[in-house]
Amino acid sequence: MLRVKNLRKSYFMSEGAVPAVQGISFDIDEGVFLTLLGPSGCGKTTTLRCVAGLETPDSGEIYIGNEPVFLDGKGILVPPFRRGVGMVFQSYAIWPHMTVFENVAFPLVHGGFKAPKAQVKERVRKALELVGLAAQENRPAPFLSGGQQQRVSLARALVYEPKLLLLDEPLSNLDAKLREEMRLELRELVKRLKISTLYVTHDQEEALVLSDQIAVMSEGHILQKGSPREIYLDPRHPFVANFVGNANFIEGFVEPGKNGHPDFVVGTALGQMSCRLSSEIAKGERVSLVFRPEDVVIHTTAQSSRVNTFPGIIERLIFLGNRIYCEIRSGAFLLHGETNARTEIQQGANVFVEIPADYVRVLRAQ
Amino acid sequence: MEKVADVSLSSSGVQAAKSLREIISGNSIAVFFAWAACAVILLLTTLILWMSFSRGLPFESGFSPDNYAEVFGSEHFWTVVLNTVGVGLGTVAISIFFGVPLAWLLNRTDIPMRSLFITMLAVTVIMPGLVKAMGWIMLLSPQVGLLNRLVMGIFRLREAPFDINSLWGISFIQGLMLTPSMFFLISGPMRSLDSALEEAAEVVGANRLKIIVWITSPMLWPAILGGIIYIFMTAIAMFEVAGLLGGLSENRILATEIFLAVQPFEGSSEIKYGVAGVYGLLIMAPSLFALFFYFQSLKQAHRYAVITGKGYKPKDFPLGSLRYPAILFVLFYLALAVFLPFAVLLWASLLPSLRMPSVEALSLVSFKWYSEIHYLLGGFDVMRNTLLLVVGSSALVLFFSFMISWVVVRTKLRTRRLVDTISMLPHAIPGIGFAFALLIAGIMTAKWFPWVPFYNTVWIIIAGNVLNRLSYATRITNAALIQVQQELEDAALICGARKWVSMLRVMMPLIRPSLVFAGLWTALLVFREVSMALLLIGPKNKVLATQLWILWRQGDLSQASALSIVLILITGLLILVVQRATGKIGEPRSLPQLGGGG
């Protein structure tokens, strides 16, 4: 439904050209929800605006459906009002001088999706019903709450039934509780309409909840693209591991295994750790080991027989309600772990941490 | 569900080759008109320069320095220059004398009825400079001035103690006119000054006077300097007061010399366009120079402006028992600027001829002149011209300033800075300079393209007013458009609206209040504008303001007074409309140029 190839875009500031997007490529298949996830300034919004036609890329190709909307080589550049995409803006961009109805009807009345008068009313009502605002039709837009404006914005983007929906951090201006609600609602809606969606956010949780696929971006590049599960459980890049969820990083060298271990082990500041190595990593190579705090098992008693188990001292405990977050010092290494909220441990206690070999990702050191 | 989108997408594919041009064409309407306006500004400016080197019309005679020789060699030259500088400085002095204390009193003290006074200051615009001058002539002329006669009667003097027909008189009236400008120019900085800075001085033991002298004044100096430069520029380009008071031949200043050179029916024998060009340049040069300094001082002002963050509220200076003299001071200014001239005009308009109030005079009071108002207004043509002038100018000013602001604020074109700068030029070039250039353009049009209805039509006056008001209106539309978030416009494009649809349906309604304000304010200033109109009128394009001038010059003081009163009432009505429509009168932001219309 959407194909982006080698997209590049720089901004010209007084200090010169600042690259925002540095040659990224991705596809969205029919009905798929793809999220561009990354910190502010990573180029995700620029990418979205290029797809919408609000920014002109420096080079690359963009196809919506099978139609090219931007081809640098052939000088094709379809203006935004011809691209037929739906878009929800971060600020909602609800026109304050119009009522809810007028806002939603705009694309059908003044926009490029003109519909007969009789139909307009019906379609606006349907769109407002979709977002649960049918009763607010005649209210002036400024009298709406943030969440309601959000819904109007969504209704306006859906009323002309676009093939592709673009969402630019639509939830970031809502308060936490409302954000969670809207998140689920949005997910339901998009799944029901089977509409292909490009979503932009810096909120990893949002990305995990909503997406079929996530593309993690940093400094104008896509570092990894995959399902939420892949992104979280199998990060291929330290940045991805750290940006999506928390992670422990430890560096080391691949050494031959011992005591009948079939795999190689990695010598680290913690000690020797065994883990699953992919075939492309060779002996002697410098690697980064990545594991999640929630995968760390904290034992209060000695566990002599287990592998990847290291002694340590609890340096800090933070009670988070549903779990306890711990910082554990083991030798020179400070390790982050989590444990059940009902666990009885104290600061300064001696513990043993176990890092299950299956949960350790081995990345080539950058 | 994808039917609609399908149609639009497939059409985009077909026309894809055209579309690169199309995306530019979204802004191209704005770019076209913005540059059209800029081109006219530049062309007319060039024309003034050209004329100064030409003895006849452009293209008809070669370049020669003769005009300069004539101007600089004239026996009057240095008198004219010194007079002009004198009038400029005198005007500045009067406007500082009233404007600075007023700004302090009404912004930083606990003077009673503060907002009422501020509104009244803004509303002094109700009385055009021409009318004000007429009122003061009737008060202080050596021959008929009522105040002169009163003083002579009281002190048994043989000669009139005041002579309004002097450089002092010109400065006095122009100073009164421009005091509100000074007031509003320094009110902003005055208000944003952190009173903690004054309190700090109080804590270390400085008394009130010392605080004002050593703390408040120095910090406000950049704003006051900016005001001085602005007032000086406006003052030396103002024509109608000097024209009225000096009778064009006494008290000659640059602005009246231009007029003399091109309007021979007012005295001089031959039309000297080239000479007028030189005078025009002479007025422009210091203005351009001053504009540069004006911007510089504004930059400086930012450095000085000390505004603290949240919860900051300037502390009012307690006047105590001084508040009665303070109120008297404000009333004194209002009396001089509005009440006295208005009263004398009203009085004169009710009498067959001007005389001192007495029982006998009272018996002569009648509404005779008002019953002949149709004749005074100059008939249907003048009314129609005036209406066309006011409505046409406002509409065009709004249109062009919106287009210019669009280019400046809402595009990323590299030329937008240039457009911004050029659109500020009319601010520096006096209206009378543009009027002169338009006159030449008009004569050329009439000669070479007689079928173009421009010369001797109301459109030539409209053109002058549009150029003259463009800078100010552009400031307002710039500020308004900056405030509209980019995403509101983007959303319209995404909804399939073309650029001009989004301008018309989304952007213009969003900044409607500012547009209404700019439009009505322009209408008001255009309605009372007389300097440019006088240079551009012929038999067929008279307007109300010039009608008033003509009546006065014919010596019909009472009739002119009656017409003035009518003019004031119409202006008052317009102001009421502005106030109703926008509620903005009295806001310092909106009124930096009150007297600027002249």
Got the DSSP string for B483-534?
HS-HHHHHHHHHTT--HHHHIIIIIHHHTHHHHHHHHHHHHHHHHH--HHHH
A204 and A232, same structural domain? yes
A160 with B487: Cβ contact below 8 A:
no
Sign of CA dihedral A111, A113, A119, A122: negative
CA angle B503, B507, B510 (to 5 degrees): 155
A207 and A255, same structural domain? no
Q: Choose among B188, B36, B175: nearest CA to B103.
A: B188
pLDDT-based confidence at residue B597 (cuts at 50, 70, 90): very low
Last residue of a domain, one of A204, A223, A242: A242
Whether B332 contacts B325, CB under 8 Å: no
Whether A362 contacts A284, CB under 8 Å: no
Q: Which domain holds residue A201?
A: 2-242
pLDDT in tens, A35-60: 999 998 899 999 999 999 888 899 99
Identify the pLDDT of residue B4: 36
pLDDT in tens, A123-145: 999 999 988 888 888 888 878 88
Q: Mind telling me how many Å the CA of B472 is from chain A's nearest CA? A: 26
pLDDT in tens, A258-281: 655 556 678 888 888 888 777 677
Per-residue pLDDT, averaged over B450-466, amounts to 91
- Structure token pair of residue B435: 């009027």
Nearest to B495 among A64, A90, A107 (CB): A107
Q: According to DSSP H, which parts of chain A are helical? A: 44-52, 100-109, 117-130, 146-158, 176-193, 204-210, 228-233, 238-243
Sign of CA dihedral B397, B403, B406, B411: negative
Place of tokens 């911004």: B420
Whether A154 contacts A104, CB under 8 Å: no
Which residue type sits at B251?
N
- Measured distance CA(B287)–CA(B295) in Å, rounded: 12
Identify the pLDDT of residue B96: 94
- Measured distance CA(A38)–CA(B515) in Å, rounded: 41
Phi/psi of residue A97, nearest 5 degrees: -90, 5
Give A-chain residues touching B9 at CB under 8 angstroms: 64-65, 67, 82-84, 163
Q: Choose among B216, B227, B235: nearest CA to B105.
A: B216
Give A-chain residues touching B6 at CB under 8 angstroms: 65, 84, 163
Whether A166 contacts A51, CB under 8 Å: yes
Last residue of a domain, one of A222, A242, A262: A242
A93 and A204, same structural domain? yes
Whether A283 contacts A254, CB under 8 Å: yes
Q: What is the mean pLDDT of chain A?
A: 88
A253 and A236, same structural domain? no
A91 and A67, same structural domain? yes
Best interface-test mutation with B: which of A72, A77, A104 has the largest number of B CBs within 10 A? Answer: A77
Identify the pLDDT of residue A38: 93
Place of tokens 């540069």: B292
User: Could you count the other beta carbons within 10 Å of the beta carbon of residue A298?
Assistant: 21
Q: According to DSSP H, which parts of B263-415 are helical? A: 273-304, 323-334, 340-349, 359-364, 368-371, 373-377, 379-410
Identify the pLDDT of residue B594: 33
Is residue A75 less than 8 Å (CB to CB) from chain B?
yes
How many percent of chain A have pLDDT more than 70? 96
Instruction: Collapse the DSSP code of A247 into the 3-class scheme (helix H, G, I; strand E, B; otherwise coil) and give the result.
Output: coil
Last residue of a domain, one of A192, A224, A242: A242
Q: Choose among B534, B92, B52, B129: nearest CA to B285.
A: B52
pLDDT in tens, B244-295: 886 666 778 888 888 888 776 555 467 788 888 888 888 888 777 766 766 6
Nearest to A97 among B8, B22, B509 (CB): B509
Give B-chain residues touching A157 at CB under 8 angstroms: 494
Per-residue pLDDT, averaged over A296-301, amounts to 87
* Count of structural domains within chain A: 2
Give A-chain residues touching B10 at CB under 8 angstroms: 67
Identify the pLDDT of residue A264: 67
- Measured distance CA(B229)–CA(B227) in Å, rounded: 5
Closest residue, chain B, to A96 (C-alpha): B510
- Measured distance CA(B135)–CA(B141) in Å, rounded: 10
Give A-chain residues touching B498 at CB under 8 angstroms: 79, 81, 112
pLDDT in tens, B64-80: 888 888 888 888 888 88
Give B-chain residues touching A52 at CB under 8 angstroms: 490, 494
Per-residue pLDDT, averaged over B166-173, amounts to 92
pLDDT-based confidence at residue B186 (cuts at 50, 70, 90): confident
B17 with A75: Cβ contact below 8 A:
yes
Ramachandran area for residue B273 (φ above 0: left; ψ -120 to 50: alpha; else beta): alpha
A28 and A81, same structural domain? yes
A42 and A150, same structural domain? yes
Instruction: Collapse the DSSP code of A220 into the 3-class scheme (helix H, G, I; strand E, B; otherwise coil) and give the result.
Output: coil
- Measured distance CA(B330)–CA(B495) in Å, rounded: 55
Identify the pLDDT of residue A201: 94
* DSSP secondary structure letter of residue B355: -
Ramachandran area for residue B378 (φ above 0: left; ψ -120 to 50: alpha; else beta): left
CATH at residue A289: 2.40.50.140
> Does the pLDDT value for residue B536 go beyond 70?
yes
A109 and A165, same structural domain? yes
- Measured distance CA(A334)–CA(A339) in Å, rounded: 16
SS3 content of chain B, % helix, strand, coil (to 5): 75, 0, 20
Identify the pLDDT of residue A34: 95
Instruction: Determine how β-strand A33-37 pairs with β-strand A196-201.
Output: parallel
B121-to-A138, B330, B567, B571 alpha-carbon distances in Å: 43, 9, 19, 15
Q: Using CB atoms within 10 A of its CB, is residue A314 exposed (0-12), middle (13-18) or buried (19+)? A: buried
Instruction: Collapse the DSSP code of A350 into the 3-class scheme (helix H, G, I; strand E, B; otherwise coil) and give the result.
Output: strand
Q: Please report the domains of chain B, with CATH numbers, ordered by start residue.
A: 27-54+379-541 (1.10.3720.10)
B196-to-B102, B108, B190, B199, B383 alpha-carbon distances in Å: 22, 13, 13, 5, 55
B4 with A111: Cβ contact below 8 A:
no
Whether B351 contacts B364, CB under 8 Å: yes
Nearest to B487 among A84, A89, A156 (CB): A89
Whether B123 contacts B585, CB under 8 Å: yes
- Measured distance CA(A133)–CA(A247) in Å, rounded: 41
Using CA atoms of A148, A151, A157, A160 in order, give the dihedral in degrees to the nearest 10. -100
Sheet containing strand A350-354, strands side by side: A297-299, A350-354, A309-319, A323-330, A333-340
Instruction: Determine how β-strand A16-28 pairs with β-strand A2-13.
Output: antiparallel
Residues near B453 by beta carbon (within 8 Å), at least 6 away in sequence: B459
- Measured distance CA(B263)–CA(B267) in Å, rounded: 8
- Measured distance CA(B452)–CA(B259) in Å, rounded: 25
- Measured distance CA(A34)–CA(A28) in Å, rounded: 7
Lowest mean pLDDT across B373-382, B447-456, B485-494, B561-570: B373-382
Instruction: Collapse the DSSP code of A215 into the 3-class scheme (helix H, G, I; strand E, B; otherwise coil) and give the result.
Output: strand
- Measured distance CA(B131)–CA(B596) in Å, rounded: 15
Identify the pLDDT of residue A225: 95
> Does the pLDDT value for residue B8 go beyond 50?
no
A48 and A164, same structural domain? yes
Closest residue, chain B, to A162 (C-alpha): B5
How many percent of chain B have pLDDT more than 90? 19
A81 with B496: Cβ contact below 8 A:
yes
A209 and A123, same structural domain? yes
Lowest mean pLDDT across A24-33, B264-273, B471-480, B545-554: B264-273
A222 and A263, same structural domain? no
How many percent of chain B have pLDDT more than 70? 85
A95 with B8: Cβ contact below 8 A:
no
* Residue numbers of A between 146 and 185 with CB closer than 8 Å to B: 153, 156-157, 160-163, 166
Identify the pLDDT of residue B265: 56
User: Could you count the other beta carbons within 10 Å of the beta carbon of residue A176?
Assistant: 6
For residues A264 and A235, which has the higher predicted lDDT (pLDDT)? A235
pLDDT in tens, B490-514: 899 898 888 888 888 888 888 888 8
> Does the pLDDT value for residue B131 go beyond 80?
yes
pLDDT in tens, B391-440: 999 999 999 999 999 998 888 777 888 888 888 888 778 788 888 899 99
B10 with A89: Cβ contact below 8 A:
no
B487 with A53: Cβ contact below 8 A:
no
Q: Choose among B534, B547, B58: nearest CA to B263.
A: B534
Identify the pLDDT of residue A226: 94
A95 with B26: Cβ contact below 8 A:
no
Identify the pLDDT of residue B6: 36
Instruction: Determine how β-strand A248-255 pairs with β-strand A221-226.
Output: unpaired
A253 and A229, same structural domain? no
Instruction: Render the burial of B496-520: b for 16+ CB within 10 Å, e for the rest.
Output: bbbbebbbebbbeebbeebbbbbbb
> Does the pLDDT value for residue B485 go beyond 80?
yes
- Measured distance CA(A111)–CA(B4) in Å, rounded: 12
Whether A96 contacts B513, CB under 8 Å: no
Give B-chain residues touching A84 at CB under 8 angstroms: 4-6, 8-9, 12, 496
Closest residue, chain A, to B501 (C-alpha): A110
Q: Choose among B74, B30, B67, B34: nearest CA to B51.
A: B67
pLDDT-based confidence at residue B9 (cuts at 50, 70, 90): very low
Identify the pLDDT of residue B595: 33
Half-sphere exposure at residue B251, Cβ-oriented, CA atoms within 13 angstroms: 23
> Does the pLDDT value for residue B587 go beyond 70?
no
Closest residue, chain B, to A83 (C-alpha): B9
Q: What is the mean pLDDT of chain B?
A: 81
Beta bridge pairs of residue A201: A37
> Does the pLDDT value for residue B2 go beyond 70?
no
Q: Choose among B262, B286, B263: nearest CA to B275.
A: B262
CATH at residue A211: 3.40.50.300
> Does the pLDDT value for residue B590 go beyond 80?
no
Identify the pLDDT of residue B588: 41
B413-to-A49, B30, B207, B409, B419 alpha-carbon distances in Å: 19, 12, 54, 10, 10
For residues B205 and A117, which has the higher predicted lDDT (pLDDT)? A117
Nearest to A77 among B13, B23, B498 (CB): B23
